[in-house]
Homo-oligomer: A and B are copies of this chain.
Amino acid sequence: MGKKNITFSDIAKYTGFSKTTISRYFNNPDSLTLENQQIIATALEKLNYKENKVARILANGKTEFIGIIIPNLYMHYYSEILNQILKTYDSFGYKFLVFTGDDHESTERKYIQELLAYKIEGMIILSHTIPSIELASYNIPIVTIEREDQYVSSVNTDNYMGGVQATSLLAKTGADILIHINADIPKQTPSYERIRGFSDICKEYNIPHEMILTDTGHTYDETSRILKDLLETIDTKYKRKTKGIFLPNDTFANIMLNHLIQKYGCLPDDYKIIGFDDSPVSREAIIPISTVGQQIDKIALSAMELLNEQIEERHKRKPTLSVEPTHKIIPPILINRKTTLPVER
């Protein structure tokens, strides 16, 4: 507010053209003669014009805003997803209004209302609180990532494949017994498929296995204690056997690894460990941990592509309304590091 904003009117007055022509200079410059473009260009310079996209939005309805609701940013997976999404600005041009959800349905609903009030063109939802049937009812392009997605388009990692890959690698080490530890997550959650993948492979190849579905705690220390106890149980229960343990994420895998090393001074040959996510800790661990990496860059890109399609669709022609939601699946990548070396015979 250094006095007053320069507007198209000012430029128009200054150059002798009409506001319309100034507008055209920005949106369809080819329709002006080169010299007139030049005249306007210098006028813009001289008057130090600053564009006002708010006015433009009101006039043409295109905000180029996309709303994001993400559970948090302290988990590496989420911050990396956001990282990759934000990077698409250079190719898609959408600006991102970001909210971190707080796990309360009502407040996240408020966030959505706020986003709608700003006339966002679409949303990317990663938080889990609001059911997809409600999301669909907002009647705006939506893509969810790694959450319940029955009624909206989505991008998910191929969790089943991830479970299969992790389990297979564990089996190939020569482990006698395969163990999967996980929280007792609901069956609709995408990551439940990892459990199925583990289970199916074990059954298909007749591999002895145990599924430990239990409360894994809500803080790091709690989880650490629980996993320590679990390790003790496993240690005595499968004394003579080689144990292949599939943890649901790298943080858990790292905790397990640390407990083992604190107990034995090294990673014993009868323990094989794999995590999930390829988060930094898996690489930074005392022994680099094998894991299943989600292709976060591809997930983010696919989400934006899906969303962009929907947005472009609705910018033209008639509604073509309520196309079936698209569900895109991104394969994970097995990362074989040092915690799944073959058993030495």
Cα of A83 to Cα of B73 in the assembled complex, Å = 5
CB proximity to B under 8 Å, residues A46-75: 50-55, 57-58, 63, 72-74
Extra contacts besides A86-B99, A220-B283 (15): CB < 8 Å: A50-B117, A53-B117, A54-B118, A73-B79, A73-B86, A74-B79, A79-B82, A79-B83, A83-B100, A97-B97, A258-B285, A261-B286, A262-B286, A265-B266, A280-B281
Cα of A87 to Cα of B284 in the assembled complex, Å = 29
* Least Cβ–Cβ distance between A345 and chain B, in angstroms: 25
With an 8 A cutoff between CB atoms, is A186 at the interface? no
* Least Cβ–Cβ distance between A137 and chain B, in angstroms: 11
* CB <8 Å contact, A54 and B52: no
With an 8 A cutoff between CB atoms, is A80 at the interface? yes
* CB <8 Å contact, B74 and A117: no
Q: In the complex, which residues of chain B have a beta carbon less than 8 angstroms from the beta carbon of A319?
A: 1
With an 8 A cutoff between CB atoms, is A135 at the interface? no
With an 8 A cutoff between CB atoms, is A341 at the interface? no
* CB <8 Å contact, A98 and B100: no
* CB <8 Å contact, B117 and A100: no
With an 8 A cutoff between CB atoms, is A14 at the interface? no
Cα of A131 to Cα of B220 in the assembled complex, Å = 40
Of B50, B89, B100, B114, the residue contacting A116 (CB under 8 A) is: B50
A250-268 to B contact mask, C-beta < 8 Å, 1/0: 0100110010011001100
Majority SS at the chain A contact face: helix
With an 8 A cutoff between CB atoms, is A314 at the interface? yes
* CB <8 Å contact, A286 and B283: no
With an 8 A cutoff between CB atoms, is A95 at the interface? yes
* CB <8 Å contact, B118 and A100: no
Looking at A54, A83, A116, A266, which has the most chain B CB atoms within 10 Å of its CB?
Answer: A54
Q: In the complex, which residues of chain B have a beta carbon less than 8 angstroms from the beta carbon of A265?
A: 265-266
Q: In the complex, which residues of chain B have a beta carbon less than 8 angstroms from the beta carbon of A117?
A: 50-53
* Least Cβ–Cβ distance between A136 and chain B, in angstroms: 13
Cα of A90 to Cα of B266 in the assembled complex, Å = 48
* Residue of chain B at shortest CB distance from A1: B314
Q: In the complex, which residues of chain B have a beta carbon less than 8 angstroms from the beta carbon of A314?
A: 1
With an 8 A cutoff between CB atoms, is A192 at the interface? no
Cα of A315 to Cα of B339 in the assembled complex, Å = 59
* Least Cβ–Cβ distance between A278 and chain B, in angstroms: 12
Of B89, B98, B119, B285, the residue contacting A54 (CB under 8 A) is: B119
A284 touching B114 in the complex, CB below 8 Å, given contacts A54-B58, A86-B99, A86-B100: no
Cα of A319 to Cα of B76 in the assembled complex, Å = 43
6 cross-chain CB contacts under 8 A: A54-B118, A74-B76, A87-B100, A96-B97, A261-B286, A286-B286
